[in-house]
């Protein structure tokens, strides 16, 4: 407030002495909205890559280590194998296998709707990053669910099936999702973002399918920042995926930011979510 008062007083003192016409502020730049780039030859990140992050939960005055999250690009194959996923690729297919696992040391992650032990697996076409199959396994206490999704582009639909692994004799819950151009699942969207140029002021929009539900996905590219991690300091680009709000992954109010390296690989070095008065931060601690 004090700085604002000083600036205002100086402005009133200097303006009368200025003979030129006052400048009219330029209209704010309209964000450039883009569809995501889907092809990259070669990939800007290694086809086999494993990134480990420490999860830290903070709610003033509490700040504790809550677990780990691992993002892994397993590799490109014509015959990938994923435990509990029934998927038969064609011999000519070249599929990139993506994986993410979340392991919590306590129950604090439940405050953000995350499970104590989650496994995400996604297969995307290596040519154009279209999703071919997904798996999500949730294990938390007595809860143990498995959800799979098979994407059929001849029918333009994805078939999602959810089963209770504690009662496998019960029929699976099924849901058909209509496919749209540029539609991704959450894990493939995480890697698709690494294919983009990510210039400051750009916005990317595309639909997302998550847990068999259609969601809106929007990504804003902010400025450059230097971030310190256990692996050293990185020059980064700050990115804001819009994950909170009506029609998005979470209907509650909140913020989500990512800091990715300012190079072609756009490797995430820090991820942060804020909601319900708490913050969860994922910081890169290991790269393999």
Q: Give the per-residue pLDDT at 22.
A: 45
Q: Which two tokens stand for residue 91?
A: 């011999």
Does some domain include residue 121?
Answer: yes
Phi, psi of 155, rounded to the nearest 5 degrees = -100, -10
Cβ pair 131, 153 in contact under 8 A: no
Question: Hey, CA dihedral for 191, 196, 199, 202, is it positive or negative?
Answer: negative
Q: What is the pTM of this model?
A: 0.83
Q: Give the per-residue pLDDT at 1.
A: 41
Q: Give the per-residue pLDDT at 30.
A: 53
> What residue spans of the chain are helical by DSSP H?
2-14, 186-192
Give the containing element (helix H, strand E) for 15.
none
Residue from 119, 115, 125, 169 nearest 146 by CA:
119
Cβ pair 266, 260 in contact under 8 A: yes
Residue from 120, 19, 132 nearest 79 by CA:
132
Cβ pair 206, 36 in contact under 8 A: yes
The residue segments making up the domain with residue 191 are 32-287
Q: Give the per-residue pLDDT at 14.
A: 28
Q: Give the per-residue pLDDT at 7.
A: 30
Q: Give the per-residue pLDDT at 135.
A: 97
Give 239: exposed, middle or buried? Use CB within 10 Å, 0-12, 13-18, 19+: buried
Burial 89-105 (b: 16+ CB within 10 A, else e): beeebebbbbbbbbbbe
Q: Give the per-residue pLDDT at 108.
A: 53
Does some domain include residue 221?
Answer: yes
Does some domain include residue 15?
Answer: no
Does some domain include residue 123?
Answer: yes
Q: Give me the tens of pLDDT residue by residue for the chain, a chain 288 residues long.
A: 434 333 322 232 323 333 334 444 444 455 578 888 888 778 999 999 999 999 998 888 888 888 899 999 999 999 999 999 999 999 999 999 999 999 887 655 555 555 578 899 999 999 999 999 999 999 877 789 999 999 999 999 999 999 999 998 999 999 999 999 999 999 999 999 999 999 999 999 999 998 889 998 999 999 999 999 999 999 999 999 998 888 787 878 899 999 999 999 999 999 999 988 899 999 999 999
Q: Give the per-residue pLDDT at 85.
A: 96
Does some domain include residue 120?
Answer: yes
Phi, psi of 23, rounded to the nearest 5 degrees = -75, 135
For the chain, how many structural domains are there in total? 1
d(CA 219, CA 115): 25
Q: What DSSP designation does 8 have? A: H
d(CA 21, CA 169): 80
């Amino acid at each position: 407030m004090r700085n604002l008062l000083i600036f205002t007083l100086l402005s009133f003192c200097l303006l009368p002495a200025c003979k030129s016409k006052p400048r009219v502020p330029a209209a704010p730049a309209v964000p450039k909205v883009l569809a995501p780039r889907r092809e990259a030859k070669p990939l800007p990140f290694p086809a086999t890559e494993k990134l480990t992050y420490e999860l830290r939960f903070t709610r003033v005055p509490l700040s504790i280590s809550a677990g780990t999250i691992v993002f892994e690009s397993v590799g490109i194959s014509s015959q990938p194998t994923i435990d509990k996923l029934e998927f038969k690729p064609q011999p000519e297919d070249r599929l990139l296998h993506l994986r993410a696992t979340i392991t919590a040391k306590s129950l604090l992650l439940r405050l953000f709707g995350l499970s104590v032990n989650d496994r995400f697996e996604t297969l995307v076409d290596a040519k154009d990053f279209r999703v071919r199959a997904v798996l999500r396994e949730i294990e938390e206490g007595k809860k143990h669910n498995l959800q799979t999704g098979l994407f059929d582009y001849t029918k333009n639909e994805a078939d999602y099936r959810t089963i209770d692994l504690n009662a496998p004799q019960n029929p699976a819950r099924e849901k058909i999702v209509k496919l749209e151009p540029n539609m991704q699942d959450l894990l493939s969207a995480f890697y698709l973002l690494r294919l983009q140029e990510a210039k400051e002021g750009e916005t990317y929009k595309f639909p997302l399918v998550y847990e068999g539900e259609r969601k809106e996905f929007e990504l804003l590219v902010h400025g450059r920042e230097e971030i310190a991690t256990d692996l050293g300091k990185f020059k980064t680009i700050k990115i804001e995926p819009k994950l909170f709000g009506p029609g998005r992954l979470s209907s509650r109010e909140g913020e989500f930011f990512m800091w990715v390296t300012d190079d072609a690989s756009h490797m995430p070095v820090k991820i942060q979510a804020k909601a319900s008065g708490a913050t969860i931060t994922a910081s890169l601690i290991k790269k393999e």
